[in-house]
Amino acid sequence: MHRKTAMKTVYQVVIHKIYLSDSETQYHSKCTLLSYGHQGLREKANASRVQEISSLKEDKFKVTVSLDKERPMSKSPLYYKYDIQRYDLHPNFSFSHLNDMIPSNTPEYLDHGLHYVERIVRALYYFKQCSLIGPSGTGKTHIVYLVAELTGLPIWEVNCGLSTSSFDLIGRFIGLGKENWVDGLLTQWLRKGGIMYLDEANMMKQDVATRLNPVLDTRGHLVLNEKDSEVIERHKYGYMIISMNPATAEFSGTKPLNAAMRRRMAVWINFDFLSVGETISPHEVEMLRKRTKVDQDTAYKIIQAGAELRRQYKAGDLPYGPSLGDLINWGTLVFDGNTPLGAAEETIIGLTSDNVEVQADVRRIIEAVFNKPQ
């Protein structure tokens, strides 16, 4: 008996629409703009939904099945590696119009069971902002980009410094007169949403940091004193992450964060190196081996040397502790045919300090590791 080939069609229904203009960004949906004090994201009923309809035709019969499923925040291949699915940071809302600002292909973050990704996403879900603190090279910026990719949020990044002015964040008039106003990154983020990432936040000048206070508390808005006192409400899905190195003499320009701003950051997450001193992380060894293609023994010794350099850095005996990226650079030159000591001269030794005595100390540590009898 002749039978027709079954045909199956799957449709995905988009349940939101975005409208943007150059002068003012508004999004039209069933939800209105809400200030920071509103914790509406806790409501489970607000989870994003996607309707999937399947139709099967065969002879004279047609069967249609409709499934209502939760929409994942992003299509990142790492999305289900982390337990973040219950913290939807933009239910029933898409940032596809800012797709170029959403990171992609961010490497997986190895946290040795400390669940940094989950803790950051949870902090954003409940409090809309959090702080990351730790020495240089511990992966703070890496994890911010990963969180942005996993949650499908655009990222607005400001590398703070002593020269960062309120004009950079808020905006300014350009040209003659007061006709051509250009929004700063903070103002654009307030209008459009996503993650505002302030790197090295404790290097900002006090007058700049003060402008953030009404944005971060229950007022949730910014008054543009520079532009006819326009009041800009914080986007409902506008999140802030700040990161900083410890305020020490080693990190020139850093200072303790202002108490008013510190109180507004509800969650503080401390970062540290995975391998320090006698503690060697097998995950870090494996990551270095995969990235550099060196053999297992060489990978282990590179991490071992790095761990000792980090220990002495934390003890105050060295001015810098190498990150995993620094050690990967070292391993890359080893794989290219250099000896471990020769490759170290061009990477780790020169990176740590310009001082010849400090370089000699680093050299002795590396030689002790690689010349150790098997």
pLDDT exceeds cutoff 80 at 63: no
Per-residue pLDDT, 309: 96
Half-sphere exposure of 178 (CA within 13 A, CB side): 3
Mean pLDDT over 14-42 rounds to 37
Per-residue pLDDT, 33: 40
Hey, what amino acid is at 79?
Y
| 3-state secondary structure (DSSP) of residue 52 | strand
106 and 229 share one domain: yes
Task: Determine contact, residues 185/240, Cβ cutoff 8 Å.
Answer: no
Residue 358: which H helix or E strand, with range?
helix 356-370
pLDDT exceeds cutoff 50 at 21: no
Model confidence over 114-130: pLDDT tens digits?
A: 899 999 999 999 999 99
- Determine what percent of the chain is predicted with pLDDT higher than 90: 53
126 and 183 share one domain: yes
- The two beta strands, 268-270 and 129-133, are parallel
153 and 259 share one domain: yes
């999140």: which residue's tokens?
239
Per-residue pLDDT, 204: 84
230 and 107 share one domain: yes
Higher pLDDT, 299 or 273: 299
Count of residues making up the chain: 374
102 and 240 share one domain: yes
Query: Which pTM does this prediction carry?
Result: 0.75
1 lies in some domain: no
- What percent of the residues of the chain are helix, what percent strand, and what percent coil, each to the nearest 5? 35, 20, 45
186 and 313 share one domain: no
Per-residue pLDDT, 175: 78
**Among 270, 291, 310, which residue terminates a domain?**
270
Q: Domain containing 48: what range?
A: 7-70
275 lies in some domain: no
Q: How far apart are CA 279 and CA 277, in angstroms?
A: 5
State the pLDDT confidence band at 257, using cuts at 50, 70 and 90: confident
Per-residue pLDDT, 248: 58
83 and 213 share one domain: yes
Cβ contacts of residue 282 below 8 Å, gap of 6+? none
276 lies in some domain: no
107 and 42 share one domain: no
Cβ neighbours around 216 below 10 Å, total: 21
pLDDT exceeds cutoff 60 at 35: no
Main-chain dihedrals φ then ψ at residue 93, nearest 5 degrees: -145, 140
Per-residue pLDDT, 103: 96
351 and 254 share one domain: no
Q: How far apart are CA 79 and CA 90, in angstroms?
A: 15
Nearest to 37 by CA among 242, 232, 234: 234
Task: Determine contact, residues 121/87, Cβ cutoff 8 Å.
Answer: yes
Per-residue pLDDT, 121: 97
């797709």: which residue's tokens?
99
Mean pLDDT over 93-114 rounds to 90
2 lies in some domain: no
18 and 48 share one domain: yes
186 lies in some domain: yes
Model confidence over 308-346: pLDDT tens digits?
A: 999 998 888 998 889 888 999 999 999 999 999 999 999
134 and 231 share one domain: yes
Residue 207 CA, chain-centre distance (Å), reads: 26
Q: How would you label 141-153 residue by residue, b for 16+ Cβ within 10 Å and e otherwise?
A: bbbbbbbbbbbbb
Mean pLDDT score of the chain = 82
329 lies in some domain: yes
Higher pLDDT, 218 or 51: 218
Give the strand order in the sheet containing 7-13: 7-13, 49-58, 61-70
State the pLDDT confidence band at 205, using cuts at 50, 70 and 90: confident
Question: Among 51-60, 124-133, 205-214, 283-292, where is mean pLDDT lowest?
Answer: 51-60
299 lies in some domain: yes
**Among 70, 91, 115, which residue terminates a domain?**
70
128 and 208 share one domain: yes
Three-class DSSP labels, 136-200: CCCCHHHHHHHHHHHHCCCEEEEECCCCCCHHHHHEEEECCCCCEEEECHHHHHHHHCEEEEEEC
339 lies in some domain: yes
**Among 214, 235, 270, which residue terminates a domain?**
270
Burial (CB < 10 A; 0-12, 13-18, 19+), residue 113, is: exposed
Give the chain's domain count.
3
Mean pLDDT over 32-45 rounds to 42
Mean pLDDT over 192-206 rounds to 91
Per-residue pLDDT, 94: 92
| 3-state secondary structure (DSSP) of residue 316 | coil
Q: How far apart are CA 102 and CA 100, in angstroms?
A: 6
